[in-house]
Amino acid sequence: MKAFLLFLWLFILIIIPQFIFFGIVFNTLFLLSIPLLIINYNKLKNEILYSQLIQIFLLIVFFHLFISIYNQYFEFGILRQILIFPILFINFYFYLLKFKKFKPISTLKYFFGYILIVLTINSLTILLTVISPSFTNFLYNIVYLTEKQAGGISDTRLVPRYSGFAVSGFSYLSFKYMFLYIIAILYLSKQKLSIKHSVFIIITSIIIIISLFFVARTGLLFVILFFFYFLFKNYISKFKIKEIIYFIIFGFFFYKLITFYINDQFGFALERSFDYIFNYLENSDIDNGTISDLSKELIFPKLIHQWILGTGDFGRDRDFITDIGWLTFINGSGLIGILFYYLPYFYIVLKSWKTPFRNIVLVLIMCSFITNAKDLVYLEHGYIQAFCILTLLVLSKNHKLNYS
């Protein structure tokens, strides 16, 4: 029972589902956070509330309020996304404390395994909605979806987009999967794994990869890349021929079993996800329309002061200014704003430099820099969650977590 409750808690922290009861939408993260904050207020005051990182978050909030007043434009949507940082940080702090008591031996190996299970459960839900319209109708009578996501499921012009229990799919969910999968796979790649554990990672990875074809390709490519990194580091580079052959055969049959039920939809999704490769093979041109579409979104600030402090408009409350994350940043907060918003990352890189998590932190931030070319990943839940987890592990020497 305790294991199930810990899993359910982690599922809420990662997927953040919202449910509909009697026409009212309930956000599970906030329903969980309110009693957690009330019960543990004194612990928070002593352990977290006055930490350097929380002070940096408050500095970012004050900076956002400053540029809002300066530009006479207040965007609540972006402030809400900034404030979710400390909310998730506090939740993960208490979650890791409980998890350590539950699994005192090999805690982190099991914790990152739990992350893969959460992603896999949501992925299986996505695949069920792909093959069963009746299940889809039942699920989304009780699970809330954004208007865009609800429209994405019924989109027959392109590949329908699914989200499982998440309120939205598209790049929002794809990047969430990507960042959480990366930190889990990088940590597990450093551990001594039995055949049983390796099979578990391969099964969950295949399910996650297949489901992402029906979410968005933005994070899919990174997940595939790091899955092959795991195989190379643990088996191919060590010439474990027997295990490699075993995993190839097992993985192939498992892949065929899953795709058997979604054959038509998967073929279309596969073609859509890699159409730039197919386009290059057929026409020697990688542009599938996405590159030319992005080139139309090269929208820069028009005035010097907008380059410095932005306009305050990140396109969250009104229509999007541009789909390019870095330009959204510059238009919203200016070049000074980028420095302010990235203060937590400069901080955690310095703190992680002499810890076992340094390389994982650096990879996470590097991936953020790359993917911000597509969307404002800095404020996506998946990146925030991955950052909160790594931050707590890096700082664990200084408080009760003490995982090092």
pLDDT at 255: 62
Extract the tokens encoding 177: 């999967």
The continuous run of DSSP H or E covering 25 comes out as strand 24-27
Q: What is the pLDDT of residue 115?
A: 93
In the predicted structure, residue 250 carries a pLDDT above the cut 70: no
- Rounded distance, CA 340 to CA 67, Å? 12
Q: Residue 278: pLDDT above 50?
A: no
User: Do β-strands 24-27 and 18-21 pair in parallel, antiparallel, or remain unpaired?
Assistant: antiparallel
Are 100 and 107 in contact, with CB atoms under 8 Å apart? yes
Q: Which pLDDT belongs to residue 123?
A: 93
Predicted local confidence at residue 272, as pLDDT: 56
Q: How far apart are CA 180 and CA 13, in angstroms?
A: 12
Residue 345 gets the label, from left (phi > 0), alpha (psi -120 to 50) or beta, of alpha
DSSP state of 286: -
Q: Tell me the three state secondary structure of residue 132.
A: coil
* 351 and 53 Cβ atoms separated by less than 8 Å: no
Q: What is the pLDDT of residues 126-145, one digit of tens each?
A: 988 888 888 888 998 899 88
pLDDT of residue 32: 87
Helix (H) or strand (E) holding 280: helix 275-283
Q: Return the number of other C-beta atoms located less than 10 Å from residue 237's C-beta.
A: 9
Is the separation of the CB atoms in 178 and 209 below 8 Å?
A: no
Residue-averaged pLDDT of the chain: 77
Is the pLDDT at 4 greater than 70? The verdict is yes
Q: What is the pLDDT of residues 154-179, one digit of tens each?
A: 665 556 788 889 888 777 788 889 98
Tally of residues, the chain:
404
Cβ-count burial of 158 within 10 angstroms (0-12 exposed, 13-18 middle, 19+ buried)?
exposed
Residue type, 140: Y
**342-353 pLDDT, tens digit each:** 888 888 888 888
Task: Specify the pLDDT at position 244.
Answer: 67
Tokens 């890096």 appear where? 394
- What does the pLDDT average to over 63-75? 82
Own/partner contacts of 143-151, CB < 8 Å, gap of 24 or more, are 143/17, 143/18, 143/19, 143/20, 144/17, 144/18, 144/19, 144/20, 144/25
| Residue 208, pLDDT score | 92
Instruction: Collect all residues with Cβ–Cβ distance below 8 Å to 131 and sequence separation of at least 6.
Output: 261, 262, 265
pLDDT at site 404: 47
Contacts of 390 (CB under 8 A, 6+ apart): 183, 348, 352, 357, 360, 361, 364
Residue pair 368/383 in contact by the 8 Å Cβ criterion: yes
Separation between Cα atoms, residue 149 and residue 350, nearest integer Å:
39
Quick check: 398 pLDDT over 50?
no
> What would the pLDDT profile of 279-323 be if each residue is shown by its tens digit?
544 554 445 555 555 556 667 777 787 788 877 777 666 655 666
Provide the 10 A C-beta neighbour count for residue 156: 6
Please tell me whether the overall predicted TM-score, pTM, comes out greater than 0.85 for this model.
no
- What are the angstrom distances between the C-alpha of 74 and each of 59, 68, 332, 337? 17, 5, 11, 15
> Which tens digits make up the pLDDT trace of 205-228?
988 998 888 887 778 888 989 988
Q: Which pairs with CB-CB distance under 8 Å and at least 24 residues apart come from 347-350?
A: 347/52, 347/53, 347/56, 348/53, 348/387, 348/390, 348/391, 348/394
Res 399 pLDDT > 60: no
**Per-residue pLDDT, 12:** 92
* 132, 153 contact by CB (below 8 A): no
Highest mean pLDDT among 74-83, 287-296, 349-358: 349-358
C-beta of residue 220 within 8 angstroms of C-beta of residue 126: no
Query: Tell me, what's the pLDDT at 159?
Result: 66
More confident call, 76 vs 12:
12
Across residues 112-137, what is the average pLDDT? 90
Count of beta carbons in the 10 Å neighbourhood of residue 100: 17
